[in-house]
Structure 1
Amino acid sequence: MTLDTAFTGYADPALHAEGLYIGGQWQAGRGIPVTDPSTGTTLAEVPDASIEDAMRAVDAAEAAAAGWRATPPRQRSEILRRWFTLMTERAEELALLISLENGKALADARGEVAYAAEFFRWYAEEATRIGGEFRHTPSGAHNILVDHEPIGIAVLITPWNFPAAMATRKIAPALAAGCTVILKPASETPLTAYAMARLGQEAGVPPGVVNVLTTSNPGPVTAAMLADPRVRKLSFTGSTGVGRILLAEAAKSVVNCSMELGGNAPFLVFDDADLSAALDGAMVAKMRNGGEACTAANRFYVQAGIHDAFVAGLTQRMSALKLGAGYDPETQCGPMITTKAVDKIDRLVSEAKARGARATTGGAPVDGSGYYYPPTVLENVPSDAALAHEEIFGPVAAIYRFETEEEAIRLANDTEYGLAAYVYSGDIMRAMRVGRGIETGMVGINRGLMSDPAAPFGGAKQSGLGREGGVIGILEFMEPKYFAVEF
């Protein structure tokens, strides 16, 4: 594919570098280069918002809040449904745009667009189903009526690894609930966020209901918005370290927070598992988005009886993957997002190898332009290696051997994180028992993909607060109000 001919329609980076999107208007500016990880070249330059720009976004969200709150749920629903339709119509162009700025393989980018669009369809339906509650008090003295109201202006902060899906997973429930929003995407992948705003404009989202700004100074800009008493919600997806900082900032104004933070997902394979199915699941759980996913399998715990066969099978599959530019249709594993990301992966792998781990494939960075690290399998990884405790965020499968069910659960829980886990066993009762024993928010039983717009997504321990998606997702953007009624 030649990029000169690929820049058409929504795939054109220049289309999405026209300015900040505030109050339904595009406000020109420059300052943040957006890089193609496949080559290291600059695709476009987007505006660098100041604190004053952020306050204008809050002003715009406030100006639109009363009108959007009063918009009938059916009307909000229809706008979200049109947004879904427009995303679906532009799917191929959006997938190419994501591959350009993120580096992920086109197949993964297409999957992300389909997944991202589904949040608009799901919450288009949920917008008309916001429930309440009516019941009698035990004493019979009065009645209890509970309503749900929009929580208010929401600041949404999204990461670079799923630039479309992380935005729609927050925007859709917020708008369905009747909230106005300010989206701050990662500066590595802002073009997709601006594309989402443009599609929202086409779908009929009123000015000020959705605002988008990019900044190279996220700490002070975000702190200023959270300090504004008009902002009542923060929804953040990113690292646990940054999440802790934002929670501290939000606490100063008692802002309601939803946090989807880091992960260190264990992938457990028991002797009675279907080996082929376990390998299929492992490839999905590990290599979706090149391993740059918070739900990615980080630690593979394989029971002794099936361990060697699993290592051989995974090595064969990982070594066969084609490494290359994300927008090349033949690519199966694209580049990492930055050179910093490659350096981190190399540090973790090198330290594990120095402590006795052995790479059965990969294991060293790739020379040349672009930010590449090859699909890698490591066996005999020591349990005290940094690799076992830090989120890899790359195409590295670290494999550990275990003997008993109790040992597997203990090893799986040996982390501060608790976002996702995977269990493969031919005994469904054991799989469920082990799943219940793992301290995590989500468990995949004999499957390597668990994300679904209709399911609650979120973690336990240091992996976050609250849930996104599913029926519960819209309630994260609403406040229950209790009426004591005398009738």
Structure 2
Amino acid sequence: MSDSSSTDPTGTDLVGLRTGALPTDLYIGGAAVAASDGGRFDVLDPATGEILAKVADGTVRDAIAAVDAAHAAGAGWAAAAPRERGEILRRAFELMSANAGDLAQLMSLENGKALPDARGEVAYAAEFFRWFSEEAVRASGELKTAPAGTNRIMVTHHPVGVCVLVTPWNFPAAMATRKIGPALAAGCTVILKPASDTPLTALAMARILEAAGVPPGVVNVLPATRSGEVVSAMLHDDRVRKLSFTGSTQVGRILLKEAADNVVNTSMELGGNAPFLVFADADLEAALDGAMIAKMRNAGEACTAANRFYCEAPIAAEFARRLAGRMSELVVGPGTREGVQVGPLVNEAGVEKVDTLVRGAVAAGASALTGGHRPDGDGWFYPPTVLVDVAPDAEVLKEEIFGPVAPIVTFGTEDEAVRLANATEFGLVAYVYTGDLARGLRVSERLEAGMVGLNRGLVSDPAAPFGGVKQSGIGREGGHEGMLDYLETKYIAVDW
């Protein structure tokens, strides 16, 4: 597929998928540019392992060039009227919607996700632009009299400055817009470092933002396989004042240490190990509906995916049987094929990890009611799997699976369920199904998680604060809180 830096001013073909003109160069200062050393890396189709495109491989020199561009554009963008920034984001929402089909197809190609998941992600991702187009005019301050009556306390908010945004491969559009939207609304400029498995969607987003009217240098996109080097170089540049990272807790710890050198403002959305609690008084059909969403959205490759299922003893066997029935009926195949519900995992390492966790659980005494074996053939596929009789200390309960596997454990009491759910270093999201609202709220308060789905299998919403506790992260994305993460608070003592 060829490279093209041109955009369609009508906004009807910005992705370039239909013309074979996908953007494959770096995007710095409003222009498509080659890597400084001419390097490129392969982007593969997870369904076949074949090469989709060769993308420019950013270097440290390119990273500093991106910081140069973002810094140069910073003062002008910060001074732009909030309404102007909001209208540009609204236009980006409209252009994403106009190009939704092509964006979904592109994500299915490079990520592997089934088209229904890809279409859902495009709609979800676009909503961040719409939500923050409205929030751009709401960076309100405060004025009050000091308690002693000696002066006024004036509080204002200002853009934090140049932001480095590091996003994962599992939601290549939504993770980008969830960071770009609030940053631009707040008046910040950004360098987006997308995952090397899925850079094409990020580069397509740059085209959309350019067409929406984002000035050169305000948004820069830097694909790179040398992630550690390029991100470290930017974090040690005094002009960079913000890091927003979504990814594993392991990498998050490293980046927090790097950011500490220059005391860079950080937001971290890290790993999850979401418990899914089903009490005996729950509406079992609703719980199964919720389980299929919480587990199988994006084939389980989501930080919010239900990772551990805890079922009260009286209904555990029935829930497992019926869940296995539903999982076994899902259609597995290339994500771009209509009718497919579960695409391949993103790469060989991902499918090998899932297979290792399942084999380890079975070796320790678990049984697979459906799935449980990696299929032969091309592509990085793994079948939807339900495990029962899982040992309490099995690795599959400790690690973020990131695949279509549902391990089920039985519990006896409410206290035991809460204890099991909280027995992890992670605290991103939890799910609770019960017919007793008082119990549901009581358990929700006791769960150590930043988000709880109470009788719901989906918690993500651009209007809600997304984030975790413990080692699942720092800060919040989405909601009004999402923009506050890109603003500095200034206090002015004044007496008139």
What TM-score results when the alignment is normalised by the length of structure 1? Answer: 0.98
For residues 10-40 of structure 1, what are the alpha-carbon distances to aligned partners after superposition, in whole Å with 9 as ceiling and x for unaligned?
4359533431000001003541100000111
For residues 392-422 of structure 1, what are the alpha-carbon distances to aligned partners after superposition, in whole Å with 9 as ceiling and x for unaligned?
0000000000000000000000000000000
Q: CA–CA distance in 2 between the matches of 1:429 and 1:32?
A: 54
For residues 205-224 of structure 1, what are the alpha-carbon distances to aligned partners after superposition, in whole Å with 9 as ceiling and x for unaligned?
00000000111111111111
Q: What residue number does 1:47 align with?
A: 56
What secondary structure, in the 3-state scheme, does the structure 2 residue paired with 1:15 have? coil
Q: Is the 8 A contact 2:24 2:200 kept in 1?
A: no
Q: CA–CA distance in 2 between the matches of 1:254 and 1:31?
A: 33
1:87 equivalent in alignment to 2:93: no
Give the counterpart letter for 2:278 in structure 1: V
For residues 167-199 of structure 1, what are the alpha-carbon distances to aligned partners after superposition, in whole Å with 9 as ceiling and x for unaligned?
000000000000000000000000000000000
Q: What residue number does 1:316 align with?
A: 325
Q: CA–CA distance in 2 between the matches of 1:271 and 1:475?
A: 41
**C-alpha distance 120-8 of structure 1, shift in aligned 2 (>3 A):** closer
What secondary structure, in the 3-state scheme, does the structure 1 residue paired with 2:459 have? coil
Q: What residue number does 2:371 align with?
A: 362
Q: What residue number does 1:112 align with?
A: 121
1:282 equivalent in alignment to 2:291: yes
Give the counterpart letter for 1:468 in structure 2: E
Q: Is the 8 A contact 1:14 1:44 kept in 2?
A: no
Q: Is the 8 A contact 1:17 1:45 kept in 2?
A: no
Q: What residue number does 2:313 align with?
A: 304
Q: What residue number does 1:32 align with?
A: 41
Q: Is the 8 A contact 2:14 2:207 kept in 1?
A: no
Q: 1:187 aligns with which of 174, 196, 207?
A: 196
Q: Is the 8 A contact 2:23 2:204 kept in 1?
A: no
Q: Is the 8 A contact 2:92 2:212 kept in 1?
A: yes
Which stretches in structure 2 are left out of the alignment for 5+ residues?
Answer: 1-12
Matches within 5 A, 1:120-269: 120-269=129-278
Q: CA–CA distance in 2 between the matches of 1:17 and 1:337?
A: 21
Q: CA–CA distance in 1 between the matches of 2:440 and 2:224?
A: 45
Give the counterpart letter for 2:430 in structure 1: A
Q: Is the 8 A contact 1:61 1:211 kept in 2?
A: yes
Q: CA–CA distance in 2 between the matches of 1:154 and 1:15?
A: 29
1:302 is displaced (CA, Å) by 0.2
For residues 260-292 of structure 1, what are the alpha-carbon distances to aligned partners after superposition, in whole Å with 9 as ceiling and x for unaligned?
000000000000000000000000000000000
Matches within 5 A, 1:438-477: 438-477=447-486
Q: 2:21 aligns with which of 3, 15, 38?
A: 15
Q: CA–CA distance in 1 between the matches of 2:50 and 2:335?
A: 14
Q: CA–CA distance in 1 between the matches of 2:433 and 2:132?
A: 32
Q: How many residues align?
A: 481
Q: CA RMSD in A?
A: 1.1
1:372 equivalent in alignment to 2:358: no
What secondary structure, in the 3-state scheme, does the structure 1 residue paired with 2:349 have? helix
For residues 78-109 of structure 1, what are the alpha-carbon distances to aligned partners after superposition, in whole Å with 9 as ceiling and x for unaligned?
10000000000000110000000000000000
Q: CA–CA distance in 2 between the matches of 1:350 and 1:302?
A: 22
Q: What residue number does 2:10 align with?
A: none
Q: Is the 8 A contact 1:423 1:431 kept in 2?
A: yes
Choose 92-101 or 20-29, whichever is displaced more: 20-29
Q: CA–CA distance in 2 between the matches of 1:72 and 1:12?
A: 36
Runs of 4+, deviation exceeding 2 Å: 7-18
Q: 2:353 aligns with which of 344, 349, 358?
A: 344
What secondary structure, in the 3-state scheme, does the structure 1 residue paired with 2:21 have? helix
Percent identity reads 63
